[in-house]
Amino acid sequence: MTTILKTDIKELKKLFSGKVRDIYEVSKNQWLLVTTDRISAFDVVFSEGIPMKGAYLNRVANHWFKTVTTIKTHIISYTPELELPFLKNYPGIPERSILVQKMNRLPVECIVRGYLFGSVWDEYQKHSTASGVLLPTGIPLAGEIPEPIFTPSGKAEAGHDINITEKEFFDTVGHEIGTQIKKVSLELYTQARNRMKEKGVILADTKFEFGLDENGSLVLVDEILTPDSSRYWVGSSYSVGKSPESFDKQFVRDYLLSINWNKQPPAPPLPPDIIENTRAKYEQIATIVESLV
């Protein structure tokens, strides 16, 4: 099984590389987004990849993008090798790539939470709030929140993202666009959560990114509802009060905690069994999501 860590498509100009994606210019308004097999944890990218991870992520995001009807998405083509036949000369690239419309990305991460976990848990214990949203008392760790909540964060150019209040969110994107983002984010999360329940999987939370097109209309961009941007939990072993088994980089995070890594670069090497277990999880969630009709 191949692991693609770096890409070099000679026919296109590489614009930049994110932690996971390599972005190429196709034309003024079109980008090729290549999801590599790189993996990051605590915002540090590892020197090993997870075999096929980019292809699995693409399968998950593409499935969900195809279900979106209430908002325009950035997708131009799920099969960019048809528009760009030279991609066939790059093994592994077509299944990791999509052709998208370049948008003016809004500098916010639009997070929706249906369960109480992760960065907001400490805050909730102290103040009964999650990112400033007041919640009923008595919700246990990993417990369901009565109604999904919208907890946007600021998108830092480099490094960690910063929590912002709802007011700061609306000040950043404007009232009209902000209202639309909040509504769409809550709807997309709730629909996906309900669909995944049928499969015995809990979609605990997720993060969306949006941009504006040339007319100023709101567009859904980046990846959606993937295990890199969401928490998917195994329903059968889920119980409140403990860290749930999940379909993402949990093996990597647990391993890093077990060796007491200080979360500063350079990243430590990942043992082969951690890599394989993580790969299998990503494959499983891709298969489950694709089994939704």
Binding site for ligand ATP (CB under 6 A): 18-21, 23, 74, 100-103, 105, 209, 211, 221-222
Q: Which is nearer to ligand ATP, 159 or 272 (CB)?
A: 159
Instruction: CB nearer to ligand ATP: give 229 or 278.
Output: 229
Listing DSSP states for 242-274 in one string gives SPPPBSSTHHHHHHHHHTT--S-SSPPPPPHHH
- The answer to whether the CB of 93 falls within 8 A of the CB of 20 is no
**Residue with smaller CB distance to ligand ATP, 31 or 124:** 31
Q: How far is the CB of 81 from ligand ATP (least distance, A)?
A: 19
b/e 231-253 (16+ beta carbons within 10 angstroms → b): bbbbeeebeeeeebebbbbbbbe
What is the rounded distance in angstroms from the CA atom of residue 44 to the CA atom of residue 47? 10
Q: How far is the CB of 150 from ligand ATP (least distance, A)?
A: 19
Peptide bond into 94 cis (omega under 30): no
- What backbone torsions phi and psi does residue 90 show, to the nearest 5 degrees? -115, 95
Cβ proximity to ligand ATP: between 66 and 242 the closer is 66
- CB nearest ligand ATP: which residue? 18
Give least dist CB 214 to ligand ATP, A. 12
User: Of 21 and 193, which CB lies nearer to ligand ATP in the complex structure?
Assistant: 21
73 vs 65: CA distance, rounded Å: 7
Residue with smaller CB distance to ligand ATP, 153 or 250: 153
Shortest distance in whole angstroms from residue 74 CB to ligand ATP = 4
- As measured in angstroms, the least distance from the Cβ of 268 to ligand ATP is 20
Distance, CA of 92 to CA of 22 (rounded, Å): 14
Beta-carbon contacts of 66 under 8 Å, excluding residues fewer than 6 positions away, are 78
What's the min distance (Å) between Cβ of 207 and ligand ATP?
A: 9
